[in-house]
Structure 1
Amino acid sequence: MSGRAEEWVFAGADLRARLFNPPSGRGSDLLVTFRPRLDGAAGFDRPEPVRRFLRRDWSHLYLQSRVNDWYLNAETEAFADRLRSLTEGFAYRVAIGFSMGGYAALRFSRALRLDHLVAVSPQVSLAASVAPFENRYPEAADFDRELGDLARHGWHDLAGTVLYDPFRRLDRLHAEAIGLLFPRLDFARMVFGGHPATTVLRETVGFGAVQDLILERRAGRSEILALHRRHREHAPSYWSECAAACARHGRPEVERAALACQAALAAG
């Protein structure tokens, strides 16, 4: 950490928040990130800062939930209260969230006082009454609709960009529902980006390219789409997603061409 300070600002049994490079006074910039959904065993991880932001003297707040409860549990309201008091003195607050982390960024957007959001393939809810099309997550049966209601808890004037692959049907439906609740958000259709929709960027220039746009306060729909379009043909996942979409829509010739492009990239 090169001598930079860090501290737990919330250390519960289910939710935790760690602040890197706490501000010395009012007027600093804040990056907020969220741990996404876990594929393996539950538990807390050892947080690491996004050093690209610390080098620019930003503070970084890292949030995590112990299990895949979508940040909804007995500590959620106290967690939101702590975030609300913590973020008051910052001049500019931006959040990045992937999938479950993107949902959490929307859920806590009011408490975090967010000025800007980049959400990658987020969900509007797991509640069957809100998102009846969602069938991917076994924990959906325990999703607390009231505690997780974005209409009640989100910041409806939130600005930012939601990234999603329109050929991923469930992600598209979530994005459309989110747009009804957050009318100021822009939506970047990352065609064949997969889930999460930044897979093409991860395979080519890395997500740091988006982080640089955030640092420059240029992380809008057009800038992020331009990155995706510039690099997509060099990403194997782009062609595999294209092939899968063509298979679903009965386009065998295009499917074969996409698979050939994927194989050529894999061969180097």
Structure 2
Amino acid sequence: MAEADNGIRIFDGARLRLTHFARGHDKLLVSFDSREIGRTGFKPPNMINVYDRRGYDQISVRTSVNDWFINGETTAAERVLEAVAKPYRDVATVGFSMGAYGALRFARAIGATRVLSVSPQWSIHPDDVPFDKRYRTEASDYDQRLGALEPRAVPTLRGIIAVDPMNRLDLWHAERLQMIFPALRIARLAFGGHPATQVITRGGRYGATVRALLSDPPDPTVLTKMHRDLRRDVPFYLDRLSQRGKVRFPEAAAWAKRRSASLQA
């Protein structure tokens, strides 16, 4: 089935859809839906133009509910992803939050060599993370066995886990994931929020995430430097620092409050 931007739907389920944007490149990027509060069905497929310009065909993986791509269609969709990805000489994958988990969950099936995983989860199952109650509603149907990352870990997978270290739950997940994906490096983007790259994207520099992923090897310092360069001029960062840094960083928090007010004057 043809979709927007000349994409072809290669898997058409009630819970999962895969759209392939085949432009004749020999490299492939697989991207995954982010969690969306109030999701009521499939979003339009997303082809990321900057990766197209870098010579990547793309597959957009979408879900109709916030289920972390774990449902009765997961195994069938995984087989399709594996078959379509196999001819490509290089496969990268990217995702944010729920999509960041998806990028890691399906990395082995697609033969990924690199990943950018922004604020991912190791698991959302209550037995695995009884202290993380953020996703309890979505976790009610989560199949612990089908979603487990350890059996699907790729020890040689290179890439970046971007995380806001001020978010202790997100930092725990990032460090837990690095234990089973030891070649991944953590980019700590303080007060970047969830997902952690919001200072970069709100600052209009999404291209930095692309450079970080496509560097050889993937380079987390691209993200940390861009985050530092932009943060003093991004109200989102300043407001988070002024509110959430009062106890640990009182002087910085006071400065951020003044700086935010001056930008809005």
TM-score by length of 1: 0.90
CA pair 220-250 structure 1, distance change in 2 beyond 3 A = closer
CA contact (8 A) 2:117 2:161 kept: yes
- 1:52-63 alignment, distance < 5 Å: 52-63=50-61
Alpha-carbon distance in structure 1 between the residues aligned to 2:248 and 2:151: 42
CA contact (8 A) 1:4 1:21 kept: no
**Residue by residue, what CA displacement relative to the aligned partner does 1:84-133 show, whole Å, maximum 9, x if unpaired?**
11111111111110000000111101011111001110110001222222
Q: Give the secondary-structure state (helix, strand or coil) at the position aligned to 1:132.
A: coil
Residue matched to 1:210: 209
Alpha-carbon distance in structure 2 between the residues aligned to 1:197 and 1:69: 21
Alpha-carbon distance in structure 2 between the residues aligned to 1:245 and 1:4: 42
Q: CA RMSD in A?
A: 2.1
1:124 to 122, 125, 132: 122
What is the count of residue pairs matched by the alignment?
A: 262
User: What percent identity do the matched residue pairs reach?
Assistant: 35
Alpha-carbon distance in structure 2 between the residues aligned to 1:4 and 1:38: 23
CA contact (8 A) 1:210 1:219 kept: no
1:83 to 77, 81, 84: 81
Alpha-carbon distance in structure 2 between the residues aligned to 1:57 and 1:175: 29
Alpha-carbon distance in structure 2 between the residues aligned to 1:109 and 1:159: 11
In the alignment, residue 125 of structure 2 is paired with which amino acid? A
Q: Give the secondary-structure state (helix, strand or coil) at the position aligned to 2:146.
A: coil
Q: Give the secondary-structure state (helix, strand or coil) at the position aligned to 2:147.
A: coil
Alpha-carbon distance in structure 1 between the residues aligned to 2:30 and 2:264: 35
1:67 to 62, 65, 68: 65
Alpha-carbon distance in structure 2 between the residues aligned to 1:102 and 1:56: 21
Deviation at 1:14, TM superposition (A): 0.8
CA pair 160-251 structure 1, distance change in 2 beyond 3 A = closer
Alpha-carbon distance in structure 2 between the residues aligned to 1:230 and 1:257: 16
Alpha-carbon distance in structure 1 between the residues aligned to 2:205 and 2:248: 32
Alpha-carbon distance in structure 2 between the residues aligned to 1:204 and 1:188: 18
The answer to whether the aligner puts 1:158 opposite 2:157 as a matched pair is yes
Unaligned runs of 5+ residues in structure 2 are: none
Q: Give the secondary-structure state (helix, strand or coil) at the position aligned to 2:59.
A: strand
In the alignment, residue 174 of structure 1 is paired with which amino acid? H
Alpha-carbon distance in structure 1 between the residues aligned to 2:243 and 2:133: 20
Residue matched to 1:178: 177
Residue matched to 2:20: 19
CA contact (8 A) 1:131 1:174 kept: no
**Residue by residue, what CA displacement relative to the aligned partner does 1:110-168 show, whole Å, maximum 9, x if unpaired?**
01111100111011000122222211122123321111000012323211000001001
Q: Give the secondary-structure state (helix, strand or coil) at the position aligned to 1:234.
A: coil
Residue matched to 2:237: 238
CA pair 256-56 structure 1, distance change in 2 beyond 3 A = closer
Alpha-carbon distance in structure 1 between the residues aligned to 2:245 and 2:53: 44
TM-score by length of 2: 0.91
In the alignment, residue 234 of structure 1 is paired with which amino acid? D
In the alignment, residue 194 of structure 1 is paired with which amino acid? G
